[in-house]
Structure 1
């Protein structure tokens, strides 16, 4: 009978949930490879996370359920990824940008009339999901379904509620398939991502509806991460007047500021892997078939990888950032995410003279998220 490893920490204790960044910083120094009942083996150091990302043969990303392409390993993963890459190429992003900018501008026009605005519900969530609807060529009002689905999925994950998770998966599948059915009843080449997905071929076989559902589940979850990122970005810009003035005077720095803020204060807590053989990391033996959690927040704040790691410096060379992952599974939707975040910040700064935190303090989301659940801002 296999020996059950001793638990080194509890990701859901009060201290960890109160401030995930501080808790993970401490774990990185105290116990860089830590076991817990909830997450298996958590890796907190940049070098260990990067080593796992560089070795997909030893650390598998295959999902228990269909997850295209992120839940596949090379070489199959690469085949699907290459077939889907065209949805995020520069030509598609250039086509989408005016639509995304109008969505952002329209939302800001409606919210700036208030004294204080709760930006997660008023901007971050609708903007990201409406932009996804624009990419897909779907009715804009479907953003509310996607937003609710992301929030309910996070809740089911936090509560380990498999029944709720299964129902959410079935509901999502029905929602997507209804949209595909409508598109087929009025076939016309629109040049949007839905057309692209319905015509995607891998190994001479066209994607079926279940595979498209899997792809879009990944995309919608990704938009939830973009919304969380926006809440973090807006908070830092509002509370750091020097940074805000710097971006107002030199908007060309906005992309670099996005990368640096999210390195210091990332939206993603972790991603899982599974060992395909016995491995040793930082002197600890991890058997084959064990779950590993790559702790993005901690890795991106590791002083061994970044000088003055907890200091925000928009001129930093972030070539080693883990914000988008690394290796074979580097975030495929990064061009879309970067576009949305840049456009949102540009429009906010364009339409205001000053952005400040509201009277109510920002409230952090909790594991498995790390954005904000509430962010009140004042504009002038």
Structure 2
């Protein structure tokens, strides 16, 4: 059976114009659910055409098979004028060489070593609004804290963090416009590559200095390499963590009974975090390209075809998750795919989980009656299947500044 034969069945045209640039997140989730009830995959004609995997079983299996589903040339569409994102857009053996760069920056000890700095940063930001009794918690905390954490981890000077964060946001927002993206990437490179060159002139005991002297595959890194590497650090470590933090704050602090339960039983916080990540993945999925013909549920996808790994759809597959559209902290199975799967699983996942945990602990302790006042959030796509909440307004009893 051909894939087109399958796609011509009931509700065939519903995904033909789908992409993160044509359909907002809420409608996308509804569409994924409707199509999955009929077939486990679909097709869109956006971005020169691609197939869509929507079931947990198919997405997980494809993500684990890098030999058939290649991460090259890029995992986002449309294709952009840039070097491949190190490791993320590379298959073995190149993947292993570049993955080592991230493994050197984020080790098993990194979350523990970073936690004291993170708590200090979070308390500093809380003190900026704790006496007011109301704020946009995304702007005040979820946006700046992850960027500060990543910059601290790699050794970027604190005074440069706001400008780097600003240019990173602008670059990621331009994912859908190749020409504009190239301009924004160059602007991002102006400030980040300057940091690397400064380390070459005056080495320090930090990761940026190590990066400045690295060789990969027998060649020294060049400025373009530094740009894509630092963009990868900030994209994964800042952009996605900001989205996850904002979703966590909404899900917990829009439910007073859940907020109070977590205050009474903080050991349950990791379970709440996993359910947030399942329900509200920061990225809805990435693309792969087939290296050979492959059969999925009785239909053949030819070699050289683009295939979308629908993480958000897989995370809500009713064959795996009971009542998948509901937030249920007591869910027994939370094996979500929000950090990817297989050799390309996010190396910063333990750090992101630690950041979310510490933030929730600090907010529950400092603002015990904080609650969401802005209503149900409207999620948006911010380019490259990145999904986020622009703002979450919260209110609480004004309190003295923290010590």
Same fold, TM exceeding 0.5? yes
1:303 aligns to what SS in structure 2? coil
Cα distance change, pair 16–106 in 1 and its aligned pair in 2 (3 A): closer
Q: In the aligned structure 1, how far is the partner of 2:159 from the partner of 2:18?
A: 37
Corresponding residue for residue 36 of structure 2: 28
Alpha-carbon displacement from aligned partner over 1:300-330 (angstroms, at most 9, x marks no partner): 1112122333343334454632021111101
Kindly provide the CA deviation profile for residues 103-124 of structure 1, in whole angstroms up to 9, marking residues without a partner as x: 1110011122223211222211
The Cα of 1:342 is off from its aligned counterpart by 1.2
Match of 1:263 in 2: 278
Q: 1:196, 1:296 → 2: CA distance?
A: 34
Quick one: distance in 2 between partners of 1:266 and 1:320? 12
User: Given that residues 69 and 81 in structure 1 are in contact (C-alpha distance below 8 angstroms), is that contact kept between their aligned partners in structure 2?
Assistant: yes
Instruction: Tell me if the contact between 1:41 and 1:292 (Cα under 8 Å) persists in the aligned partners.
Output: yes
Q: Check if 1:107 corresponds to 2:125.
A: yes
Aligned equivalents of 1:349, 1:17: Cα separation in 2:
29
Q: Which moved more, 1:41-50 or 1:167-176?
A: 167-176
Q: CA deviation at 1:72?
A: 0.5
Aligned to 2:396: 379
- 1:221 counterpart = 2:235: yes
- Residues 377 and 27 of structure 1: CA distance in aligned 2, closer, same or farther (over 3 Å): farther
- Quick check: 1:210 aligned with 2:220? no
Aligned 8 A contact 2:115 2:354 in 1:
yes
Alignment partner for residue 43 of structure 1, among 53, 61, 69?
A: 53
Partners of 1:318 and 1:68 lie apart in 2 by: 32
Instruction: Answer whether contact 1:83 1:202 (CA < 8 A) is retained.
Output: no
Match of 2:154 in 1: 136
Equivalent position of 2:209 in the other structure: 195
Deviates more, 1:360-369 or 1:346-355: 360-369
Q: How many residues are paired up?
A: 374
- Cα deviation, 1:175-225, whole Å, max 9, x if unaligned, reads 22100111222223x2x3323423445445554443232221111111101
Partner residue in 1 for 2:386: 369
| Contact preservation (8 Å) 1:44, 1:298 | yes
Q: Which sits farther off after the overlay, 99-108 or 251-260?
A: 251-260
Per the alignment, residue 123 of structure 1 pairs with: 141
> Quick one: distance in 2 between partners of 1:91 and 1:341?
17
Distance 1:310 1:244 in 2: 20
Comparing 352-361 with 287-296, greater Cα deviation is found at: 352-361
Equivalent position SS for 2:309: strand
Q: Offset at 1:298? A: 0.9
What's the RMSD between the two structures over aligned residues?
Answer: 2.5
How far apart are the structure 2 equivalents of 1:326 and 1:333? Answer: 13
Distance in 2, matches of 1:332 and 1:293, equals: 21
* C-alpha spacing 1:97/1:17, structure 2 compared with 1 (3 Å): closer
Deviation of residue 237 (structure 1)? 0.6
Report the CA distance between 1:154 and its aligned residue.
Answer: 4.0
Distance (Å, rounded) in 2 between the aligned partners of 1:247 and 1:107 = 22
Counterpart for residue 336 of structure 2: 321
Correspondence for 1:57: 67
Change (3 A) 1:179 1:218: same
Offset of 1:17 from its aligned partner? 4.4
* Alignment gaps of 5+ in structure 1: none
1:169: how far off?
1.7
1:11 aligns with 2:27: no
Gaps in structure 2 of 5+ consecutive residues = 75-82, 398-403
The residue aligned with 1:294 is 309
Instruction: Give, in whole Å, the separation in 2 of the partners of 1:345 and 1:99.
Output: 15
Aligned counterparts of 2:98 and 2:265: Cα–Cα separation in 1: 39
Structure 1, residues 255-305: CA drift from partner, whole Å, max 9, x if none? 221111110222211111011112222333322111111111110111212
2:171 aligned with 1:153? yes
Q: Is the CA contact 2:168–2:231 (under 8 Å) kept in the aligned structure 1?
A: no
